[in-house]
A and B are shown apart, each in its own frame.
Chain A
Amino acid sequence: MFVTRTVIILCFISLTAAHVCAKTLQITDQNGQPLQGAVVEIEHDIAMAADTTIAVMDQVGKRFSPRLLTINKGQAVRFPNSDDIRHHVYSFSKTKPFELKLYAGTPKAPINFEQSGIVVLGCNIHDSMVGYIYVADSQSVYVSNALGNIELPDFTQRYTVWHERQARDISERIEFNWPIRQRHQKIIITTSVPLPRNTFGEVFKEHHGH
């Protein structure tokens, strides 16, 4: 009696869970390592109100903060400088080329991102600084966690994946289809090793402590 009741309750829980629960996507690289920071965008025609808030890409400790910022097409981004040193931020990306000289305590006007796509950020002064702005077409954008996992909504069918270390061209958003009647999908994004940076720190690594 007790056993059957437990089984029924368990079934019930798993049933409801299955209905409420979103689809889960797991992303790894070619070596089976979980891929954190992959951006998944779902293609759909559901109209949603555009996000008009001004996003922030800060400079903290000679690093972009956050390293990856996702915004919507048409959204503006502010580039404050929490460091008290200068930065010369630039983008050579087709999506939005620009250059911004930031000095301590002199803020600049926000920059508008009219086109969707990938914007790679660098700093002329500090080659160690690399950042990314992902400008999305749709409002349904998700970023994978440390386990390479993302919970996606039930309506997910066609979606694209992008990662900063993908072996494909950096501007490419790779297309996928969700397999019919499945809750879980595993995909592999082939990555490449990032190029060494042209900084004193990288180039003279071996000489430290002399």
Chain B
Amino acid sequence: MCQLRGTFKLMQRFFRSVTLCITLISLFGCQTLHKRNSLYQQFGGQAKIEHVIDAFILRIGANSQIIHYFSDSNISHFRAGFINHMCALLEGPCEYNGDSMVQIHTGMNINERDFNLVVELFINVMTDAHIPYQIQNKVLAKLAPLRSKIIEI
């Protein structure tokens, strides 16, 4: 008896949430209801992030001012770690599982000038990849707070 009533309550709750979902969809449409519109999606999703990071790696490799930081670093590890970090930072469907920004950049003694140059290279590759300025600015706003966890440590 008790069990039956419990099942009934559960079913009631289920139908209520289905009704709520349908109402919400009719009111706002699908786009606003889940993260279709995350910065990750606006950026162009996983394929675009990978494309941008590959171009970024080529720019780093060709830059004589900052290459010394990277000389001994494993390209595949950097690529995978940076893509994973970027996906999480732009609120895509990833959880970042690498080292913290502080753990990574401690001991590199990156100065302001080199930090700015790396950011500039990143902006250039975003522009080349036809990412709209408005979206670029949102990405930069996400990167900016990380500065103190990367520079001069």
Which of A's residues lie within 8 Å of B, judged by CB?
62, 83-86, 101, 103-104, 123-129, 198-201, 203-204, 207-210
Contact = CB atoms under 8 A, between A and B. Distances in A.
Interface centre among B73, B78, B104, B106 (most CB of A within 10 A): B73
A185 B108 CA distance: 49
22 contacts: A62-B72, A101-B99, A124-B77, A125-B74, A125-B77, A126-B72, A126-B73, A127-B72, A127-B73, A127-B77, A198-B76, A199-B72, A199-B73, A199-B74, A200-B67, A201-B72, A203-B75, A204-B62, A207-B61, A208-B64, A208-B67, A210-B62
A204 B104 CA distance: 22
Contact of B107 (A84, A126, A208, A209): A84
Interface centre among A85, A203, A210 (most CB of B within 10 A): A85
Given A201-B67, A207-B62, 4 more contacts: A62-B72, A129-B72, A208-B64, A209-B64
Contacts of B148: none
A200 B60 contact: yes
B62 to A, nearest CB: 5
B24 to A, nearest CB: 45
Contacts of B72: 62, 126-129, 199-201
Interface in B63-84: 63-64, 67, 70-78
Nearest to B71: A201
Contacts of B70: 199-201
A190 B108 CA distance: 40
B119 to A, nearest CB: 18
Contacts of B78: 200
A106 to B, nearest CB: 10
B23 interface: no
Nearest to B69: A200
B111 interface: no
A210 B61 CA distance: 10
Contacts of B103: 86, 103
Contacts of A85: 106-108
A6 to B, nearest CB: 59
B67 A198 contact: no
Contact of B71 (A86, A198, A199, A210): A199
Contact of A198 (B63, B75, B99): B75
Contacts of A86: 99, 103-104, 106-107
Contact of A210 (B64, B77, B99, B104): B64
B114 to A, nearest CB: 15
A86 B73 CA distance: 11
A103 B76 CA distance: 21
A199 B75 CA distance: 5
Contacts of B60: 200
Contacts of A123: 74
